[in-house]
Amino acid sequence: MTVLVTGGAGYIGSHMVWELLDSGEKVVVVDNLSKGFDWAVAPEALLVQGDVADSALVGGLIREHAVDSIIHFAGSIVVPESVADPLAYYQNNTCKTRTLIETAVQAGVGNFIFSSTAAVYGDAGIEPVREEARLNPESPYGRSKLMSEWMLRDAAAAHDLRFTALRYFNVAGADPQGRTGQSTPGATHLIKIACETALGKRPFMQVYGTDYPTADGTCVRDYIHVSDLARAHRLALQRLRAGGDSIIANCGYGHGYSVLEVIQAVRRAFGGDFEVRNGDRRPGDAASVVANADLARSELGWAPQHDDLGQIVSDALSWERRLQTMNSVRG
């Protein structure tokens, strides 16, 4: 049996590939390499450059490699970009996922794990956020993912398909063994930006808003180590293979850190200072977003191993250093 990982050359996907290989799985990756990198894919996995909506390609791979499960990461993830070009997001995230689900159903793949997001909640208002919270995505990105969840639910009701959708909170960090990390240029995420600033790639960074109704006035988020997230997918895979029913589960730790706490953690890990300026609020940011992840723990048996902000930022920083060296070697 083989696992097909879409988007396996990207940030979370490349960690997933290692997690699967480490547990003895055979892995085929389909990635169009629009954002990911071929070198990010573990050499033991088969990388096929192509589109997840190319049903002839994907159907052929499923048959050739006896794929029983798909883990679907491929998609676009930049919220402001989705506001500027919503139809591109509905095409890339929603329409292509529809085709992939259809290919899975037609080829008899019974297990489907989907990369969803806390953005399906919008500003849920009640913390920590449970899966039953009101779904009110505030961006085309969030809606494109929510529509995919709905398609999966309906397809699972009609066909021989079971799925797990994992709603990610703030994914950060890098493989503790340094085999992969977040490599996409132009990333906008706080921990990545703070690490880039510490290493001198940026002259300074900004705190987006210091007047939120939180303890120190800056936004609070639930940062989850990418390796714990990858493990949650592998447990979801085991559960589906054992006949588990379809579920949707949050992936976070259930507690949050403020922007200032994160910056302090990066300073400590770096062992030095860097310039931080107070800036205006970023449109659309909620004051606090923290998961209730009880369901992932009870249903998947998920027991996070890296629930430690210090480790998250030091793994992110180590990867950022490595990336700088690789980029300077590549010129």
Closest separation in Å from C-beta 182 to ligand UDP: 11
Instruction: Name the residue nearer to ligand UDP (CB basis): 99 or 264.
Output: 264
- Residue number of the CB closest to ligand UDP reads 219
Query: Which residue number, 36 or 256, has a Cβ lying nearer to ligand UDP?
Result: 256
Q: Which residues bind ligand UDP (CB under 6 A)?
A: 170, 188-190, 193, 205-208, 219, 221, 259, 282, 285
Q: With respect to ligand UDP, which residue has the nearer C-beta, 162 or 306?
A: 306
Pair of tokens at residue 83: 């506001």
> Which of the residues are catalytic?
141
Strands (E), the chain: 2-6, 26-31, 46-49, 67-72, 111-117, 162-168, 170-172, 205-208, 220-221, 223-225, 247-251, 257-258, 276-279, 288-289
Residues in the chain: 331
d(CA 52, CA 44): 21
Q: Which is closer to ligand UDP, CB of 110 or CB of 142?
A: 142
Min dist. Cβ of residue 187 to ligand UDP (A):
9
Residue 259 amino acid letter: V
CA gap 44, 29 in Å, rounded: 11
Rounded CA-CA distance 267/274 in Å is 8
Give min distance, CB of 282 to ligand UDP, in A: 4
Largest CA distance in the chain: 57
What is the smallest separation between the CB atom of 103 and ligand UDP, expressed in angstroms? Answer: 30
